[in-house]
Structure 1
């Protein structure tokens, strides 16, 4: 059975805001509201758990996250939408982040409510407002601060909570077991597509495994042909083996260093529910290139892989050393070697694998030797 999709956090935040606004306008509770997802172009009904007036001109609605068949830590978490309705001049819709909504470090603490979420709220709410009316919407995630500590948000510059992130209202079950079959079929379809248009051996068929949405977006910015791009979740091992079985000649692994580093340690299912070991793998490679014991201890005690990278960069800046390139160059080479060996072991096929690693700012900072060669062909 194909895994069930759900909805992203912005959809539930928007549904709550609609319910609260409707209460203010009609003084009637509602069991569900219709939300225009915009992306994709469809309207869905979202259940409302509670809605009530707080004081004159102010109402609160509560929804609960349903991400579908996904290993998503926000499942069933409450989303509060507080709406204050008034009249007069000024901006018609103001959107704020309350408790549990993360803050963007690089934007001076701005609430981590991103473009799609803001567009979703504005377009759905402005339809319900009459001329001269204006609202202030505050979204809160009571469990967000605690849940945020269990994510990699801090590595991407979001602290003290969760983000209202995404480019679509649909939450695809990327980490559910049933999604693996769909991903494998997408891989096979791409290979079939290439087989209809033979290309030189150096380029046929080379695929780019983009680990997560950040990897896919960055690969697109580099103008890599869309037909070569395949967004992968955490099922890298089975995907690599299937690529070998399907006759893929080369694979470029394109992802955040905090994910791909697991492959250097032989971990080919990268979801943190199953295995981590990132700092241990990084520390081992630091030792391998000769970093002293105090540095190794500091790296191992880092809160995140991104913090460890930041520390090594600071070390290079102070001493004029080149540890980041040495350490991560060794890691990228290990990713390539381990991946090629994994494919060989489980498929008896030889596949050329290269890797590209980027940091939390989505800046590519290490490319393996094979990765550089593949990237030059693909861009």
Structure 2
């Protein structure tokens, strides 16, 4: 039975999944083709995702012209805090020249790739490979059903996409003018780490393609600003690491850049120093027993935060954390030829320790 868009039945205790921009664009293309070649305007369409799921999408809007049709789908990201949740994704289809195949165009709100290193060549619309394959699939399916040529111009647009893109990593990746049409499975899983880690990977790919020799990953905006200024790094050198130190370092181990700097506050870098790969408060905690042993102070075992320990032990603790965090980072890199710096920063943006 198809999954009805926005109406998937789930356990009330579980978070509701949603659909990627790529899945929404594919559904819009299918509806537009049905309107252009078929009979009437479909209220809903069903598509097949890469893993075989068959979600059903409500068509938000559909208009037709002499030799074109355009359909829109409202993205439902489920319970994920996705910046594109509620975005209107439109697809316009029109005949292309014979032999042209499926030709993609970036409409309003969809970005264009301007830097090498991404899975789409420079100058192309920022529509990723899997959404392209999904869209080509529905074009060929519809062409066979309606006995039409599969030479089709597909223009994808997103209402207010340029403004939404400013809240994403696209500007740093060199994607100009709007959002990317993304998705490898078609499904948005709430609070999934995979999308964030994938964006870190793309940042590393772009940095390598541009020949950068020094990149940095930081746990937050304050540490990022300090580290960028300290080393005079370009925006393209700043990887959106967040809590995913392990994800960044593992990818760098396979795709080396000469030097990486990790910046962050005392709490998160203490967790890295103790071997955590994911620094999120819900997925790793500071081990105060270990800190007490490091500092030879049994009172530390009864403290509540790394900051509280720092307030007592100051530079001794922060320097120790920096050195041990660097050691852990080097371990994750598994011998890759990368030099590692650690910069520990307080809440005021002051550097309290470095290891390099």
Q: TM-score, normalization: structure 1?
A: 0.56
Measure the CA separation in 2 of the matches of 1:278 and 1:151.
19
Q: Does 1:8 align with 2:25?
A: no
8 A Cα contact 2:94 2:153, kept in partner? yes
Selected match of 2:62 from 51, 72, 75: 51
Query: Structure 1, residues 351-371: CA drift from partner, whole Å, max 9, x if none?
Result: 9xxxxxxxxxxxxxxx93332
Query: Structure 1, residues 170-215: CA drift from partner, whole Å, max 9, x if none?
Result: 011126xxxxxxx9xxxxxxxxxxxxxxxxxxxxxxxxx9962255
Describe the shift of the 1:218–1:132 C-alpha distance in structure 2 as closer, same or farther (beyond 3 A): same
Describe the shift of the 1:73–1:22 C-alpha distance in structure 2 as closer, same or farther (beyond 3 A): same
Q: Does 1:331 align with 2:263?
A: yes
Describe the shift of the 1:142–1:348 C-alpha distance in structure 2 as closer, same or farther (beyond 3 A): same
Describe the shift of the 1:348–1:368 C-alpha distance in structure 2 as closer, same or farther (beyond 3 A): closer
Query: Structure 1, residues 220-241: CA drift from partner, whole Å, max 9, x if none?
Result: xxxxxxxxxxxxxxxxxxxxxx
Measure the CA separation in 1 of the matches of 2:14 and 2:124.
38
Q: What is the match of residue 156 of structure 1?
A: 173
Structure 1 gap segments, 5+ residues each = 176-182, 184-208, 220-255, 268-275, 308-323, 352-366
Alignment of 1:110-129 (within 5 A): 110-129=124-143
Measure the CA separation in 2 of the matches of 1:210 and 1:29.
34
8 A Cα contact 2:224 2:263, kept in partner? no
Q: What is the match of residue 280 of structure 1?
A: 225
Matched residue count: 250
Cα distance, 1:218 vs. partner?
Answer: 11
Q: Does 1:75 align with 2:85?
A: yes
Selected match of 1:261 from 218, 223, 233: 218
Alignment of 1:30-45 (within 5 A): 30-38=42-50, 40-45=51-56
Q: What is the match of residue 73 of structure 2?
A: 63
Selected match of 1:143 from 145, 160, 165: 160
Measure the CA separation in 1 of the matches of 2:201 and 2:112.
24
Alignment of 1:218-229 (within 5 A): none
Q: Secondary structure at the match of 1:42?
A: coil
Q: What is the match of residue 329 of structure 2?
A: 371
Alignment of 1:320-359 (within 5 A): 329=261, 331=263, 336-337=269-270, 339-340=272-273, 346-348=286-288, 350=290
Measure the CA separation in 1 of the matches of 2:101 and 2:77.
30
Q: Secondary structure at the match of 1:62?
A: strand
Alignment of 1:132-281 (within 5 A): 133=149, 134-174=151-191, 212-214=197-199, 260-262=217-219, 276-281=221-226
Describe the shift of the 1:89–1:110 C-alpha distance in structure 2 as closer, same or farther (beyond 3 A): closer
8 A Cα contact 1:89 1:132, kept in partner? no
Q: What is the match of residue 306 of structure 1?
A: 238
Cα distance, 1:332 vs. partner?
Answer: 8.1
8 A Cα contact 2:110 2:125, kept in partner? yes
Q: Secondary structure at the match of 1:17?
A: helix
Q: Secondary structure at the match of 1:89?
A: coil
Cα distance, 1:73 vs. partner?
Answer: 1.1
Q: What is the match of residue 252 of structure 2?
A: none
Q: What is the match of residue 85 of structure 1?
A: 95
Describe the shift of the 1:374–1:62 C-alpha distance in structure 2 as closer, same or farther (beyond 3 A): closer
Q: What is the aligned-residue RMSD (CA, Å)? A: 3.9
Cα distance, 1:143 vs. partner?
Answer: 1.0
Measure the CA separation in 2 of the matches of 1:210 and 1:139.
21
Describe the shift of the 1:329–1:127 C-alpha distance in structure 2 as closer, same or farther (beyond 3 A): closer
Measure the CA separation in 1 of the matches of 2:42 and 2:195.
42
Q: Secondary structure at the match of 2:70?
A: strand
Q: What is the match of residue 358 of structure 1?
A: none
Measure the CA separation in 1 of the matches of 2:218 and 2:262.
11
8 A Cα contact 1:21 1:85, kept in partner? no
Query: Structure 1, residues 249-306: CA drift from partner, whole Å, max 9, x if none?
Result: xxxxxxx966x412xxxx6xxxxxxxx324433267x2xxxx7xxx6xxx7xx87873
Query: Structure 1, residues 290-326: CA drift from partner, whole Å, max 9, x if none?
Result: x7xxx6xxx7xx878739xxxxxxxxxxxxxxxx989
